[in-house]
Amino acid sequence: MLINLETNYKQQLLEKINTKTAKIGVIGMGYVGLPLAIEFAKKDFQVLGFDVDANKVATLNDGKSHILDVPTAEVAIAKAKKCFEASSDFAALNEVDIISICVPTPLTASHEPDMSYVKAAVASITQHMKRGTLIVLESTTYPGTTRELIADELEKAGDKVGTEVFVCFSPERIDPGNTEFDSRDVPKVVGGITSDCVMLGRAYYSQVFKEVVPVSTTEVAEMTKLLENTFRSVNIAFINEMAVLCEKLGIDLWEVIGAAKTKPFGFMPFYPGPGVGGHCIPLDPMYLYWKGKEKNHFSRFIELAQQINTAMPTHVTQIVSNALNKKQKSISGARLLMVGVAYKSDIDDVRESPALEVYEELKQLGANIEVYDPFVASFRDAKNNKIQTNSKLTNNHDAIVIMTKHSNIDYTAILENNDCIIDTRNIWNEKYEHVHKIGSM
Ligand code: SAJ
C-alpha cells in the first residue's frame, strides 16, 4: 500500500477547526477585527489579535475595549479564560492555523484604492506563516484583490494554494451601532481560490456565524460586498435628488416615503439626509468604479450617486442661508449651533461625516459655529485643528443645524427654545414654521 507521504494539510486543518484546537490570528484590531476575535474567543478558540498600534494592544491586554460595539467585559472575559491575547509581534503568525485580515482599505486623495495596509499584512503573513494555514481577507476591496495580492504572492513564495495553503475572501458585514442584528445572526458570505479553500472557510466561519453562504470564487465574494454597498449609495443618492425636487414642488417627501412604504412589495425606503458618511458607503462604490475603469467601463450610476451625495452638504448650507434670510439675517456673523457631527445615529464615528463639510462651509461664510454631539467629544476640522464639542445643549442661537438624530438629545427643548431650526433628519413629522426640513419646504 502506497503511504500518502504528502501531508494532508486540508484534513489536518479541518480536524483542528472541528475540535476547536485551531489557533486563530486576526490582523487589525478595529471595528471589524476585534468583534470577530472576541466571537471566536467566546467559542473557546485561542485567538491572537495583531495590530501595529501598541496602544490598542496594551489596552486589549489590560482587558479593555477601545471599540464602542465591543463591551470591555467581553475582552476581559476572553483574556481571563486565556482565549484572547493581543500582540504587535507579527512573527507570532507562525503560531496560528487561520488568519483573518481585517485592515483598512481606504481611498487615496485621488480616489484610488489604497492597498498599503493589505500589502503590509500579506508581507508579514508570507514572512511568518506556517504551511497549512487558511488566510481570509475581510477588508472591503475591488474584485481580484485576494487572488492578485494574496494567492499569487503565496504561489510566488512556493506555497501551493489549495493544498499547502488556503485562501478565501469573506466580506465584513459589521454594522456599527446596530443593536437590532447581532453580528453572528448576519449571514457570512465566503468565497475561495479553490473548492477546498471554500470548504475550509465555511467550516471556520460556521463555528461562529449562524449562516455561512459559500460562493464559488473570491471575486464573487468581493463583488457581493460592493454590490450591497453600491446599491445603498445609488438609492440614497436617488432619494436625495427626490428631496431637492420635492423642496421645489413644495411637497413633503418624508410624508410621501411614509405612504410609499405601505406598499408591501416592490419598494424599499431610503431617506434623504445631509450627505453620506462612514467608511463604507462613500468609499466602497469607488472601488468598483476604479476596477471598471480598467475595463474601460465608466459606471454612470456610481458617478452620478457620488456627485449627488457629495453635493448634499452644500445644499444644507443653502437651506441654512435661506432660513436665516427669512429672519433678515445672514450666515456671516450668525451664532449657530450644529447638533450632531457623527455620520449616523448613536455612534461616535465622524469619518466622511457630511457634518464636517457643512461645518467648514458655514465657518468659511463667517458663521460663529459651535457643535454639540453627546457621542463625539472632539473632532478635527479641515485644517486638522482639534475642535471640542459643547458639553451640554445650549439654546437661543440664531439657528440650530441638526445633522444627526441621536437618541439621547432633547429635541423638544431645541424646538421650544429656538426660532430657526434646520432639520436634515426628519426629527419632527409635524410641520413647524420655524423648522426648515430637508426634502420638505
Ligand atoms: N443614509 C442616508 N439615507 C439612508 C441611509 C443612510 O442618508 O436612507 C446615510 C447615513 O446617514 C450615513 C450614510 O448614509 O451618513 C451611511 O449610512 P449606512 O446606514 O449605510 O451606515 P454605514 O455606513 O454604517 O453602513 C453599514 C454598512 N455595513 C457594512 O458595510 C457591513 C451597510 O452595508 C449597511 O447596509 C448599513 O451599515 C446599515 O444598513 O446600517
In a domain, 83, yes or no: yes
Q: Is the pLDDT of residue 365 over 60?
A: yes
**Which amino acid appears at position 95 of this protein?**
E
Query: Looking at ligand 1, which atom is closest to the CA of residue 275?
Result: 7
Q: Please tell me the distance from the alpha carbon of residue 342 to that of residue 346, in angstroms, as a whole number.
A: 8
- Ligand 1 pocket mutation, candidates 141, 175, 188, 253, criterion most atoms within 8 A of CB: 175
In the structure grid, which three cell numbers stand for residue 263, read together?
406598499
- Helix (H) / strand (E) containing 127: helix 116-128
Mark which of 226, 260, 283 sits at the end of a domain: 226
2 pLDDT tier (thresholds 50, 70, 90): low
pLDDT at 99 over 60: yes
In this structure, are 262 and 204 located in the same domain?
Answer: no
Give yes or no: residues 140 and 265 share one domain.
no
Q: What is the rounded CA–CA span in Å between residue 276 and residue 356?
A: 11
Whether residue 335 is contained in a domain is answered as: yes
Any idea what DSSP says for residue 266?
A: S
pLDDT of residue 396: 80
* Residue at which a domain ends, from 210, 226, 242: 226
In a domain, 256, yes or no: yes
Angstrom distance (rounded) from CA 132 to CA 124 = 16
Residue 436 CA to ligand 1 center (angstroms) comes to: 24
Band of pLDDT at residue 323, cut at 50, 70 and 90:
very high
**Beta pairing, strands 386-388 & 378-380:** antiparallel
pLDDT band at 111 (very low <50, low <70, confident <90, very high): confident
Q: Does residue 130 lie within any of the structural domains?
A: yes
Structural domain containing residue 323: 250-437
Counts for the chain of helices (H) and strands (E), in that order: 14, 15
Which tens digits make up the pLDDT trace of 51-60? Answer: 999 999 999 9
Span 215-229, average pLDDT = 98
Nearest residue CA, atom 40 of ligand 1? 175
Cα of 34 vs centre of ligand 1, distance in Å, is: 20
Distance CA 265, CA 30 (A): 37
Indicate whether 103 pLDDT > 60: yes
Residue 62 pLDDT grade (very low, low, confident, very high; cuts 50, 70, 90): very high
Amino acid 273: pLDDT: 98
**Do 220 and 273 belong together in one domain?**
no
Q: Are residues 142 and 203 in the same domain?
A: yes
* Residues 271 and 211 reside in one and the same domain: no
Last residue of a domain, one of 226, 261, 281: 226
Does residue 335 or residue 179 have the better pLDDT?
335
Statement to judge: residues 36 and 179 lie in one domain: yes
Q: In 10 A of CB 148, how many CB atoms? A: 13
Collapsed DSSP state (helix, strand, coil) of residue 204: helix
Average pLDDT of the chain is 95
Ligand 1 atom with the smallest distance to the CA of 404 is 11
The H-or-E segment that residue 422 falls in is strand 421-423
Q: Give φ, ψ of 385 to 5 degrees.
A: -75, 140
219 plus 311 within the same structural domain: no
Q: 389 and 273 in one domain?
A: yes
The pLDDT value recorded for residue 381 is: 96
Instruction: Convert 2-25 to b/e letters by CB count within 10 Å (16 or more is b).
Output: eeeeeeebbeebbebbeeeebebb
pLDDT > 70: percent of the chain: 98
The total number of structural domains that make up the chain? 2
Pairing verdict, β 188-192 and 166-169 = antiparallel
What is the C-alpha separation between 257 and 255, in angstroms, rounded? Answer: 5
* Cα–Cα distance measured from residue 352 to residue 343, given in angstroms and rounded to the nearest whole number: 7
Q: What is the mean pLDDT of residues 257-268?
A: 97
The predicted structure's pLDDT at residue 7: 67
What does the pLDDT average to over 334-348?
96
Is the pLDDT at 147 greater than 60? The verdict is yes
Count of C-beta atoms within a 10 Å radius of residue 230:
22
Catalytic positions are 280
Q: In what order do the strands lie in the sheet with 368-372?
A: 368-372, 335-339, 399-402, 421-423, 435-437
On whether residue 322 sits in a domain, the answer given is yes
Which DSSP letter does residue 180 get?
S
Residue 340 to residue 324: CA distance in whole angstroms = 20
Maximum CA pair distance of the chain? 96
Q: Distance (Å, rounded) from C-alpha 112 to C-alpha 289?
A: 10
CA of residue 211 to ligand 1 center, whole Å = 22
Is 356 inside any structural domain? yes
Q: What is the pLDDT of residues 413-433, one digit of tens each?
A: 999 999 999 999 999 999 999
Specify whether 79 is located in the same domain as 184: yes
pLDDT in tens, 69-81: 899 999 999 999 9
pTM comes to 0.93
Nearest alpha carbon, ligand 1 atom 29: 173
Contact 147, 218 (CB under 8 A): yes
Pocket, ligand 1, Cβ cutoff 6 A: 172-176, 178, 228-229, 232, 236, 270-271, 273, 276-278, 280-281, 343-344
Domain match, 220 and 282 both = no
Rounded to whole angstroms, how far apart are CA atoms 376 and 406? Answer: 11
Residue 164 phi/psi, 5-degree rounding, is -100, -20
**Does 242 fall in a domain?**
no
- In this structure, are 411 and 263 located in the same domain? yes
Atom of ligand 1 nearest to the CA of 174: 31
Residue 41 is part of a domain; what is its CATH number? Answer: 3.40.50.720
240 C-beta neighbours (distance < 10 Å), count:
26
Which residue's CA lies nearest to atom 33 of ligand 1? 229
pLDDT given at position 1: 58
Residue 243 resides in a domain: no
Q: Is residue 276 a contact partner of residue 356, using CB atoms and an 8 Å limit?
A: no
Residues 180 and 84 in one domain: yes
- In the block, cell 435661506 appears at 322
Pick the residue whose CA is nearest to atom 14 on ligand 1.
276
Matching residue, cell 471566536: 40
- Ligand 1, atom 18, residue with closest C-alpha: 281
